[in-house]
Chain A
């Protein structure tokens, strides 16, 4: 998955912006995220389209301190190290 890093102040954003809210720069570089640590996970039974019927949603933090969400293929606990990748419906994570 991609994070957007401000070319001027290096702050990272999980979602794309036209302008950095901190420094005003309009230049961003795409940073590929492949690993992270789980901050928390929620076992979700009532899932939204187009996702499968039951999974853990994980709030993760990257080494640089940026946070995002992924869908887990197995049970994830707070503090677990994760590998992050994407499949046809979204962002997936699994134990490293």
Chain B
């Protein structure tokens, strides 16, 4: 399998805190790579580095063979890296439809006319057809989560980064979101997926990357990673602090 993304010795510090610390891993084309780690492990910071929200202090990011470490967030999005936010951040004063249109027109580079068709497909997929004209700011959490998914998808990504997309949802709601993620994966889109619910990772992910305090712990088969002593120690160690 070909690597779509290769992260090499990536480091981000906030003052004295090494939020992401010499992290090296790769993402294979078409896979679902789960990312696990305790709170504060640096998972969201990693996504912010991958999407260009933060500049790395050290290391580099190769996407489809190109060094994108210093490209702007908009450029990376147009290259095909889409993302969701852990705490949904829809454009509150825009409608559901307009939220998706922004992704399709700007990130996806589609003409508004073509984007409209694309947006209809996505609305169907995420099940928000009946709420197209609702303001995003007025949506309940489940809808905000699915809108996050939809908006990322609208940017026509080849790689999508999901930050605790099922976090904070009831089991029934989470199942619905999982179904959408599975459909996205079936479209051939590569997924890097941060999630706290470990069972979900065990079933959903092809491989699992475990990090703690910004550092690489383990990467490989989900069940093996979860049961490895490094991960158990890493978890317990971090959780105790």
Q: Do A and B bind each other?
A: no
Residue positions of B touching A, CB distance < 8 A: none
Residue positions of A touching B, CB distance < 8 A: none
